[in-house]
Each structure stands twice: as structure tokens, then as C-alpha cells.
Structure 1
């Protein structure tokens, strides 16, 4: 494992991607920064973070020969790794809000951005970016955000948190290498936020409907039992869970 620590950078994912364009980094190369000036989230959103208070990192994982159609399992593995690490730090009521936000109860702790490196339709590797709220106490205009410190009432050592996450990533990627797809999916679905509960969703044309989350498909679509007793599947850009 090779860890690159930087004081400030625009984006840890962008830094790793630039490295990858020159030469694929070593497996489990990690870029971590004290301050990310242009962090990115899902679907082009920005990740806001207070300098020095949180854990902002990206990991390069070699995945030569991995099946492109199985890429959502990478997202599941990263989500599970972070949840398992947080559990060791006594963070309560952990859930995964589809596809890969990490929540404690209904408060967001961590965002994940995965960028796969695919050349000639062949997997080369994956850049696993995550922003975890560790010691930040104030979240202006972010009422659904929280941090490890706010939840547990203590200050955490960010290096220790990172070490635990990296350890869990190695364990879960070994499961993925062994093609333990059923085990990974079962664990992921068990942690899905609001699974089995009536929930409200909003579509891209601003319409709302009620349904019950039943799980995910192998390619990562959300399975929802709708009011007419039909299980429908939705892609990330097609529906938003309101909570």
C-alpha cells in the first residue's frame, strides 16, 4: 500500500486519474488531503468540507479482467467497507442510502464517488473516492449532514479511521476477487436505507410516488414495489428517495 498525503488539492479522484493516464499506479495507491478545493460527488455535485476536519481520500484498485457488467459490485464493496469500519468506531444506526451514501440514522456521514478506468471495453482499475465527515461540527445549509464526532461526542484520529477503512477495503475486495457476489449483495441489501418501509420517491419530471424498496439488481438499479403491486427498477438518474 502506497499513501500520498497532500496538504491541499482540487480533487483526490482527479489527482489519481491524472496519475493513471500516465501509468497505472500500484494496487491500493491512496491519495489523501487535508483540504479538497473542488471535491465532486455523484452526478456532478460538489462535496463541501472544512479544512483539516474530515477524511478526503481516493484509492486506486487494480481490477484487470473484471467484468464491466459487474461494476456495481465495486460500489457495494466500498459502501460495506466504510460501514464496517465505522461500526468499529461505535457509530450507531448505519445505513447505505442507494446507491452509496453512508448514513447514521437519517444523517449523511459519507459520500462516495467511483470512477472506473476502462480501456477498449476492458477493466483496468477503479478510483474509489470518499469524503467522510469526521471531526466537523458545523454544516451550514446542510441539515441532513452529520459527523462521527457529533454522533459519538469525541474527536477521532483521521489516520486511524483511514487505516480501518483501507483494511476493510482489502477484506471486501478479496471477497470480490473470489466472486462472492451473493454474500456481498446480501450484506449490502441488509443495510439499505428504508428497505422494506413505505417511502416517497420523486421522478425526473418532478412527480412523486410511494413504494417500498426491495433491493437492487446486479447492475445496481433500485427495486421498488409500487402501489399497484409491481416491482419496478430505477436507475440513479431516474428517481430520488425523499426523506
Structure 2
């Protein structure tokens, strides 16, 4: 990782941490762990225009793990959307545009309301269907008007919900290869170790759904992330899940990899 990349990622992390600390409320662990994913998406991967946030062919990002909302707000602020530093300082305050969970229609750059676990990923699958419909209707030979991707960060809590079993099966069956999901594999829930509540093999589950499955063993290895994203974008006929090993509360000297930093 280059020094400027490390500085950028740590800036994302600590905008999130500082806003949560000021509010004395929130979930710092997930933004600290997943900041490298957000950095790559908004800095290098996604096509979007903050001056035209409703551009029809923009890539969509859905933070299905909506409790980690300060990751999204930090990314929107740093990427030039209409989310100011004062808005970050007003995180979780009455009347702010930075509520505890992202809300569609309130904050520029938020694609859908998330927080109820499983709903963000399922909505993203709906977005992938919509993209396929629009592409079939409007694209012409050698001229693709609609060719965007939908990117998702999903937590173990999202994958535990029944709705994601249904919608992820649907996505595989319908070959939604415009959908790329990062599974935040940090092995921790708010209650403690993940194995208290979930012990399934996520890779085998999604392979059974007909998804393209990859595993990045260190979220801070940006080249591995880049390669996985490139492979996912090239995949034809399958949605992609990138199982990404992260550390909840990354960098915290006392709480990294513990439920105490979940929030």
C-alpha cells in the first residue's frame, strides 16, 4: 500500500470514529474494518459524478450493513457529494442529513435506505434486475447506454436473514453478473464471536446459488482487492461475492477483533 493510500484510508476511518465519538452513539468497528473497500470503490472503481448524483448510468453502492453508516458518509464527503464536514459533525443529531442509518431521499449519494439487516443486499439485487431490464430495452449494438454495476458491502447479519437466502438464490438463477458483493468477514457480531450464531460455509452456500465466489484474505491488500474486483467485472452470467477477511475496529489497540468495538 502506498503512503497516500494508507493516509486516505485512515482518513476515512477516523472521520467515522470522530463523528461517532462526538455523537456518543454509533458503530465504529465496521467502518474501521471496511475502509479499504470503500476507498477503492470511490477512488478507482466506480463511475459516478457528484455534480450529477442521479446520472442514470452511475454505478451504485449499497451499504447493506447500514449500521456502519459513517463509512458511507465519510466516503460521500471525501468524494465531493453534498455532505459537508458540519454534516459529519451532526451525525445522529435531530434534523441532520447523517442519521444513524442511511435514508434514501435524505442524503445525496445514498441509493437506498439500509439498516434492517438483509434489506440493502436485497434492494441491490432489485437494482441489478432494473439495470438488466434497461440495458435490454435501450442498448444498441456497439453502443451501451446502460452498463453500470451495483456494489454492496454486506455483513454476517445480512447473510443470516431469510430474505437474503431468497434474493441471492434469485440473483444466481437470473445470472445477475452486474452485481458485486463484498462480504465483511470479520468473525465478530455485537454478541461476541460469529460462531455463536452462524457456522455455515458462505463460499459453498453462494457457489450453490450459482455465484462467482472469490476470497481476499486481507482487506488491506489493495492489489488483491483490485484483482478480485477486476475478475468479478469480467465474470459473465454469474453475480459475484468477494469474501473479504477484515478486522472489526482495525487499528484500535484495545478493541480490534472484539465485540466491544461493534457499537
Q: TM-score, normalised by structure 2?
A: 0.26
More helix by share: 2
- The structure with higher relative contact order (CA 8 Å, sep 6+) is 2
More strand by share: 1
Q: TM-score, normalised by structure 1?
A: 0.28
